[in-house]
């Protein structure tokens, strides 16, 4: 009498096959996952970052000190932000050339510096007046300090306008 529905043996899982995930399995899995995520987050940004030299804190301090000195030294009496035209012209003419600015502003001899007066959007001032001095800046890695100043230039009918005094030290 073979082959009937009663002759087939049903397979029931044994108690050994019903084992579910234990707490220890879960803890190990989550730990491995978290360690992998932390490793990726710590390692990958460093490998994708561009290779640039970091700027020394001393260079940052020199740029800030120079910007503060220039604004206070070139300002008109009674006006904190307005630059005295004759003193500004004398400063930019006296510091023309490579290395002269570093010496005249008492910066370390191992750095290069550039001082420029720019529009607020960073574009150069289109004026016959000298508005840049020091070493030529070619996008080197360095420190940047800016101050807002008021200046009268001929192209604006000698009207006082805001500009940005930028000191770069590298």
Domain definitions of the chain by residue range: 57-169
* pLDDT over 70, % of the chain: 84
Residue 53 pLDDT more than 90?
Answer: no
- Give φ, ψ of 13 to 5 degrees: -65, 140
**Mean pLDDT for the chain overall:** 83
Residue 15 pLDDT more than 80?
Answer: no
Instruction: Please report the pLDDT score of residue 16 as a whole number.
Output: 57
Q: Which of 23-27, 40-44, 53-57, 106-110 has the lowest mean pLDDT?
A: 53-57
pLDDT band at 144 (very low <50, low <70, confident <90, very high): very high
Q: Which of 35-39, 48-52, 54-58 has the lowest mean pLDDT?
A: 48-52
Residue 26 pLDDT more than 90?
Answer: yes
SS (H, E, C) 24-83: HHHHHHHHHHHHHHHHHHHHHHHHHCCCCCCCCHHHHHHHHHHHHHHHHHHECCCCCCEE
Model pTM score: 0.63
Instruction: Please report the pLDDT score of residue 105 as a whole number.
Output: 82
Instruction: Please report the pLDDT score of residue 4 as a whole number.
Output: 58
Q: For 87-111, what is the mean pLDDT?
A: 82
């Amino acid at each position: 009498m073979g082959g009937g529905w009663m002759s087939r043996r049903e397979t029931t899982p044994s108690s050994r096959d019903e084992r579910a995930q234990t707490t220890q399995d879960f803890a190990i899995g989550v730990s491995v996952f978290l360690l992998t995520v932390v490793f990726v987050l710590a390692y990958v940004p460093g490998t994708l970052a561009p290779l640039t030299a970091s700027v020394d804190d001393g260079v940052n301090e020199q740029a800030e000190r120079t910007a503060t000195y220039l604004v206070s030294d070139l300002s008109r009496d009674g006006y904190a932000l307005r630059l005295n035209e004759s003193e500004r012209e004398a400063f930019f003419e006296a510091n023309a050339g490579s290395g002269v600015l570093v010496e005249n502003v008492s910066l370390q001899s191992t750095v290069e510096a550039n001082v420029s007066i720019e529009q607020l959007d960073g574009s150069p001032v289109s004026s016959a007046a000298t508005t840049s001095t020091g070493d030529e800046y070619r996008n080197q890695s360095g420190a940047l300090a800016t101050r807002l100043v008021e200046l009268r230039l001929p192209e604006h009918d000698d009207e006082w306008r805001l500009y940005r005094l930028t000191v770069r030290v590298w």
